Amino acid sequence: MMKERFEVRHIDLAVANAPVENGPALSIFWWKDLPLGTRASLQDELPYGIPQLRQLTAEYAAAQLEARSINLGAPLRATYEGWPKRALSLEAALKAEDLIESLDEFATASSASAHDISVVICTRDRDPALADCLRSVAAQRSAPGEIIVVDNSSNGNAKGVCGEFPGVRYVHEPQAGLSRARNAGIRASRLNIVAFTDDDVEVHPGWTAEIARAFADRDVDALTGLVLPARLDTPAQRCFQFTMGGFGTTFVPLTFDSRFFEETRPSGAHVWKMGAGANMAFQRSVFERVGLFDERLGAGAAGCSEDSELWYRLLATGGACLYEPRAVVFHHHRSDWPGLKRQMSAYMKGHVAALVVQYDNFGDRGNIVRICKQLPVYFLKTLVKTLFEGQPGRLGILVSEVQGWLAGLPFLLRFGWRKRRIPMRVTAIDAKGIAK
Partner 1 sequence: MSYKLTDIELSEPLAPIELSTEQNGVGLIARWQGRLIGFEMIELSAGSVMTVERLKALADERFAGRIVVAKLEEELRERQPVEEAALPSLSIAICTKDRAQRLSRLLGSLDRVRGDHSFQFVEIVVVDNASVDAATREAVAGFRDIRYVFEPKAGLDFARNAALHAASGDIIAYLDDDVVVDRNWLAGLAKACRENPGVGGFTGLVLPYRLDTEAQIFFERRGGFGRGFARREFHRTRFDNPLHPVGSGTLGAGCNMAFNRALLIQLGSFDEALDTGAPLPGGGDLDIFYRVLRSGRPMIYEPQYAVYHEHRETIPQLRRQYWTWGLGMMAFLVKSYRTDDEMRAQHRALVCWWFYDQLKALARAARRFRGHELRFGMAELWGGIYGLAGEYDRSRARIQAIRERNP
Residues that bind partner 1 (CB under 8 A): 1, 16, 24, 40-45, 49-52, 54-55, 57-59, 61-62, 65-66, 72, 86, 88-90, 92-94, 96, 98-100, 388, 390
Our CB check for partner 1 shows the closer of 63 and 355 to be 63
Shortest reach from residue 55's CB to partner 1, in Å? 5
DSSP string, 40-108: EE-GGG-SPPHHHHHHHHHHHHHHHHHHH-GGGTPSPEE-GGGPEEP---HHHHHH---HHHHHHHHTS
> Could you give the strand order of the β-sheet that contains 7-12, starting from the edge strand earlier in sequence?
7-12, 25-31, 34-41
425 contacts: CB under 8 Å, gap ≥ 6: 290, 291, 292, 294, 313, 361
- Cβ 79 to partner 1 shortest distance, Å: 14
- Torsion of Cα atoms, 53 then 54 then 56 then 59, to 10°: 170
Beta strand pairing call for 168-172 and 146-151: parallel
- Minimum gap (Å) between residue 227 Cβ and partner 1: 21
CB of 74 to partner 1, least distance (A): 12
Cβ-based nearer residue to partner 1, 65 or 254: 65
Shortest distance, CB of residue 391 to partner 1, whole angstroms? 9
Report the residue number, 39 or 259, with the smaller CB distance to partner 1. 39
User: Looking at the DSSP assignment, which residues form a beta bridge with residue 237?
Assistant: none
Q: Is the CB of 98 or the CB of 219 nearer to partner 1? A: 98
363 burial type by CB count under 10 A (0-12 exposed, 13-18 middle, 19+ buried): exposed
Tell me if 76 sits within 8 A of 66, measured CB to CB: yes
Q: How far is the CB of 87 from partner 1 (least distance, A)?
A: 8
Task: Quickly list H helices, 154-294.
Answer: 159-163, 178-188, 207-217, 235-238, 258-264, 284-290
- Beta carbon nearer to partner 1, 7 or 125: 7
In the bound complex, what is the minimum distance in angstroms from residue 44's beta carbon to partner 1? Answer: 4
Give the nearer residue to partner 1 in terms of CB position, either 39 or 418.
Answer: 39
For partner 1, which is the closer residue by CB, 87 or 216? 87
**31 vs 359, beta carbon nearer partner 1:** 31
Coil, helix or strand at residue 371:
helix
Q: Which of 323, 255, 326 is nearest to 111 (CA)?
A: 326
Rounded least distance, CB 50 to partner 1, Å? 5
Secondary structure of residue 216 in the 3-state scheme: helix
Query: Measured between alpha carbons, how far is 268 from 348 in angstroms, rounded to an integer?
Result: 15
Min. distance of Cβ 230 from partner 1 in angstroms? Answer: 20
Where does residue 323 fall: left (phi above 0), alpha (psi -120 to 50 degrees), or beta otherwise?
beta
Question: Reduced to 3 states, what is the DSSP secondary structure of residue 24?
Answer: coil
Please give the Cα distance from 36 to 64 (Å, whole number).
7
Please say which residue, 61 or 398, places its beta carbon nearer to partner 1. 61
